Chain A
Amino acid sequence: MSAGPVERPPGEAGGGSAAPASPRALAWRRRRHSLGRFWAGYRGNRAGLAGLAGLAVFVLIALCAPLLIGPADLSLTDAPGGPHEPPSAAYPLGTDNYGRSILDLVIWGSRVSLTVGFLATLMCVGLGTLVGIVAGHYGGFGSTVLMRITDWVLVLPALVLAVAFAAVMGQGTVTIILAIGLTAWPTTARLVRAQTLAVEARPYIDRAKALGGGHGHVMTRHVLPNVMPIVLAQTTLTVAESIIMESTMAFLGLGDPNTLSWGGTLQEARNAGAVSSGLWWHLLPPGLAIVLVALAFTLCGRAIEGVLNPRLRERR
């Protein structure tokens, strides 16, 4: 932690001497600067880097999947191998009940699983954080209404709501993302609101108000950084949850039945009796993939929290 305002170029501090920079340029320079500081802190966290590298590998594999696997490899009727072959040189992770390579299924499935995991999580955590902070900050009648809506969504069975979505919007991955995003946010909203209420009671909120800070300033500069730990923890939990949820929804026919995903492969393994007949290679790889992605998210989340929370940084 050596970078910071101290080591800014002198021209910036002096003001008059250099060509006067526009406020926007100054703001950008400051933002770049704090981003640099953030990265410097993050880089020092080995577990965080490992998590980031893991996520990068998964994303890279998902992007390169069409280069590695042809449509023939995933064909149900014209599968390359025999059904339920154990791992071998030709099929490193064995084959499924149709004779497709599990490795291929996992690689191809990462595309849908990661997309759903990322987007649904982004949507659900974003919506939950927004609702939670707004409800906690403003209080009053509007907040009560907002929280009653939250409670209402919380008690609605997510699957029923998702089926209704699919009926309106048609089947597909987008429907699944929306269905997860629009049903899973209330938990986040409730947690964030509770934390917001605790933060709002702190004297530094009063100080910010007395300095002239408006609602936006208080919410983004003071409340948001202090509810971040909860938001990050919630993110890591939601990623794994969304990936599993996707398989449930695909199983119920809300997605395109031909789409391959980790959850879908797990579902198929279960249907094919992999649990009872000890076909571990059918179950384990997609399950492990979900665990690894969730783990990578957890590591990243903890590292970000470590950088944002100055007290944690010291203890490390």
Chain B
Amino acid sequence: MTAQTGPDPATRDDAGDRAVPGGAAAPVLSAEGLEVRFKGRGDRGVARAVDGVHLDVRAGEIIALVGESGCGKTTLARTLLGLERPTDGRVTFEGRPLSYTGKALKAYRRRAQLVLQDPSGSLNPRHVVYDAVAEGLRIHYGVTADEKAKVADALARAGLRPPERFFLRYPHELSGGQRQRVVIAGALVLDPEVIVADEPVASLDASVRGEILALLLRLRDDLGLSALVVTHDLGLAWNIADRVAVMYLGRVVESGTVEEVLTAPRHPYTQALLSVLPEGGVAERVVLTGEPPDPTRVPGGCRFHARCQILASGEADRAGIADRCRGEDPGVLPAGSDSHLAACHYAALGEPAGT
């Protein structure tokens, strides 16, 4: 048995050119009106972890999903891999809705891989590196003759060289960065078409981080790999992503190409995030006030209005939209658009009508 081959060559064309992500490419993985709710015990109410998200991951494209802790990024990533069932909406892979039968999920998970946030916890302490990396191969193909070669190749690709030296190490004998690379090797060994990476480099030092990011970019360029990278690090998004989706309280509030969103942010939340970057060079830092968001109590109107600096400074009032901010939901951003979108009444004022 051989591994999954990469996608057709047509999708590779846009891979080299980051400024113009292929607008024509069909989405490989997408979320359509995805909602995930968790029922709390007692009177704690329902947490709307993901509250209506449209998101497309196209072939050969890296999307960064940024947002603060607790905004539903991880839940969205898990739902895309079928680890969480959506309450509403659906996940589609290559145009077909994800089926949750065991067989279909298994077939799907040969082609889409998850890299988890916590490298210390995501390796079984009783499995050596070799077994951890070969696990996916054994699940899908059984024990094969070229298993060792594939494992060595995956480890080398993830930057653990020479791979043979790591075969018999246990996770506790590795550093955090090495563990994370083992996890990444475990995902790469199946030659996936899509990788969903939840904070893949949060635990790594700068040198290793650069290597892992370069690896992701190389895989995208060479194999047409698509990736959704969940992160709270805007610098990381800037470095590797083609497009950025900013998430706030379960919803994508701004999306567009990385240049558009990060150089000319339109949503006040994105502006606030960018202004507090150390190297931001922005004259005025916006430190968000108000209570941190609680997914069990999503405010009415614009979900950001309670902390919005534009509303607080009275600018929205002067523009005559303060009531709409407090009472009218700006709606869910559509997927599949290449234009720079923001779910904000104030931002909408500056746009030509119809957007």
Asked if B143 and A23 make an inter-chain contact with CB atoms under 8 angstroms apart, the answer reads: yes
In whole angstroms, what is the CA distance A234 to B54 when docked?
A: 51
In whole angstroms, what is the CA distance A26 to B145 when docked?
A: 7
Residue B136 at the chain A interface, CB threshold 8 Å: yes
Residue A202 at the chain B interface, CB threshold 8 Å: yes
Contacts of B170 in A (CB 8 A): 310-311
Total contacts A-B at CB 8 Å: 106
In whole angstroms, what is the CA distance A21 to B144 when docked?
A: 9
Interface residues of chain A: helix, strand, loop or mixed (majority)? helix
Asked if A310 and B125 make an inter-chain contact with CB atoms under 8 angstroms apart, the answer reads: yes
Asked if A26 and B139 make an inter-chain contact with CB atoms under 8 angstroms apart, the answer reads: no
**Shortest CB distance B99–A (Å):** 14
Q: Among the listed B121, B186, B187, which residue makes an inter-chain contact with A202, where contact means beta carbons less than 8 Å apart?
A: B121
Q: Which of B154-190 contact A (CB under 8 A)?
A: 164, 167-168, 170, 172, 183, 186-187, 190
Q: Mark B124-161, 1 if CB is under 8 A from A, else 0.
A: 11111010000110011011111011000000000000
- Given A203-B118, A212-B105, A310-B170, A5:B139 Cβ within 8 A: no
Asked if B130 and A5 make an inter-chain contact with CB atoms under 8 angstroms apart, the answer reads: yes
Residue A233 at the chain B interface, CB threshold 8 Å: no
Asked if B139 and A212 make an inter-chain contact with CB atoms under 8 angstroms apart, the answer reads: yes
**Shortest CB distance B101–A (Å):** 11
Q: Which of B103-117 contact A (CB under 8 A)?
A: 105-106, 109-110, 113-114, 116-117
Asked if B168 and A311 make an inter-chain contact with CB atoms under 8 angstroms apart, the answer reads: no
Q: Which residue of B lies closest to A213 (CB)?
A: B139
In whole angstroms, what is the CA distance A58 to B148 when docked?
A: 43
Q: Which residue of B lies closest to A311 (CB)?
A: B172
**Shortest CB distance A7–B (Å):** 10
Q: Among the listed B81, B102, B144, B167, which residue makes an inter-chain contact with A210, where contact means beta carbons less than 8 Å apart?
A: B81
Q: Among the listed B105, B139, B145, B168, which residue makes an inter-chain contact with A217, where contact means beta carbons less than 8 Å apart?
A: B139
Asked if A27 and B145 make an inter-chain contact with CB atoms under 8 angstroms apart, the answer reads: no
Q: Mark A130-164, 1 if CB is under 8 A from B, else 0.
A: 00000000000000000000000000000000000
Residue B57 at the chain A interface, CB threshold 8 Å: no
In whole angstroms, what is the CA distance A27 to B145 when docked?
A: 10
Asked if B126 and A211 make an inter-chain contact with CB atoms under 8 angstroms apart, the answer reads: no
In whole angstroms, what is the CA distance A5 to B166 when docked?
A: 11
Residue B122 at the chain A interface, CB threshold 8 Å: yes
**Shortest CB distance B213–A (Å):** 21
In whole angstroms, what is the CA distance A5 to B150 when docked?
A: 13
In whole angstroms, what is the CA distance A5 to B131 when docked?
A: 10
Q: Mark A302-316, 1 if CB is under 8 A from B, else 0.
A: 000000111100000
Q: Which B residues are closer than 8 A to A by beta carbons?
A: 78, 81, 83, 102, 105-106, 109-110, 113-114, 116-118, 121-128, 130, 135-136, 139-140, 142-146, 148-149, 164, 167-168, 170, 172, 183, 186-187, 190
What would be 20 A-B contacts, judged by CB atoms less than 8 Å apart?
A: A4-B167, A4-B168, A5-B130, A5-B168, A15-B145, A27-B142, A203-B116, A203-B117, A204-B121, A206-B114, A207-B116, A210-B109, A211-B109, A211-B136, A211-B190, A214-B106, A225-B126, A309-B126, A310-B172, A311-B172
